[in-house]
Amino acid sequence: MKPLVVTSGTVVSAAGHGLAQTVLSLKERRSGLTGCDFAGVTEGFIGRVPGIEQHGLTAVNPGFDCRNNRLADMALMSDGFFDAVMQARAFYGADRVAVVLGTSTSGILSAEEAYAAVDPVAGMPPDSFDQARTQDLFALPRFVASRLGLEGPLLCVSNACASSSRAFVDARYWLEAGLCDAVVVGGADSLCGMTLRGFASLGLIAPDMTRPCDARRNGISIGEGAGFVLLEREGARPDATVMMRWLGYGVSSDGHHMSSPDPQARGAIHAMRDALAHAALEPSDIDYVNLHGTGTLANDAMEDRAVHAVFGDGVPCASTKGWTGHTLGASGIIETLFSALMMREGFLAGCLNVGTPDPAFRSHVLTANLERMPKAIMSNAFGFGGTNCSLIFGAA
């Protein structure tokens, strides 16, 4: 495929507010996970972003005010991203910049709070509850477009934990079809009671910090976060600085089970091989695989099987969820930006919180950071229902 370029990016998670804080946390191997104290839940650990409660929204309809949109706004206003989009808007026109974002729960916390405040007599939620601008899945792209003054087409991708990775693919289709000239791609997912209690009901919440690829791994830690990139055609805006290049993608849907991965890893293998084919690369051309690596027994074993089938044991791989927790629909964009930082700063992040790597694993799992200047990184995202997405990025 013809490469597209990322000309700006921003990220907020428990690992840091902005790219500078994030890369410091990655290099110092400092986790952002803390004991859970959210929505009345005290089980396990969470990747909570500090400051959301104090962050106010400006220049938009007040009905957009919710945790998810505040989180998105924190990212939009970081790393010079807002100004970068303004420059693209001035060059292309507001109607030529699209927004394609991924989320799995959007502002559902607002609906939880509204339900708790339902009038017992009338049976109605408070008048202040704005479902369309908070809980609705399309609330996120509507908010981002409003905040950035964009008038191009909008799309929300809700594809479980692959949502913000899959958003790249749909953004590419729009650019190829000529519907737009630039796309704000990314996503946001924020903490809420439904995900914390839902994963607990499945027995998937780790009692301690999640430890992907560890022999004694015992579940996930839920996190929250947001990230965005500006995606453009290569060379279309000559003055734009290139952060990294997007080289290839692979998507699949194996439909094995509503919540369990296919133990044979057929869909994951297919997605990774397709990504290599789209990028016209060989497995040996990839310097690092950023694993989906949630920390559950089944997911990590499946992904190890898939990575070994495609790469053998020759390519280093690791999960970065020990820093952030599993940020669900936002994990793809957050880990995409982690990949950009590794290519820029010259290191590979090894799994965090690992005592003893699973001896059954056959892929080359890193458990410590490695100083190396990667030129190409694959980032995986796999979600409930058997949805799989692999993206390949190259250094600028």
Computed from CA positions of residues 111, 109, 161, 60, in that sequence, does the dihedral angle turn out positive or negative?
Answer: positive
Cα separation, 52 vs 87, in Å, equals: 27
Task: Pick the catalytic residue from 161, 180, 192, 389.
Answer: 161
Task: Pick the catalytic residue from 180, 326, 351, 389.
Answer: 326
Let me know: does 390 contact 271? Beta carbons within 8 Å. Answer: yes
Name residues whose C-beta falls within 8 Å of residue 195's C-beta, 6 or more positions apart in sequence.
104, 105, 222, 328
Tokens, residue 163: 């949502």
- 295 class by beta-carbon count within 10 Å (0-12 exposed, 13-18 middle, 19+ buried): buried
Tokens 């998507």 correspond to what residue?
A: 251
161 is catalytic: yes
257 is catalytic: no
Task: Pick the catalytic residue from 292, 308, 317, 389.
Answer: 292
Name residues whose C-beta falls within 8 Å of residue 385's C-beta, 6 or more positions apart in sequence.
160, 253, 255, 258, 259
| Paired strand residues for 294 | none
- 333 class by beta-carbon count within 10 Å (0-12 exposed, 13-18 middle, 19+ buried): buried
Kindly list the catalytic residues: 161, 292, 326
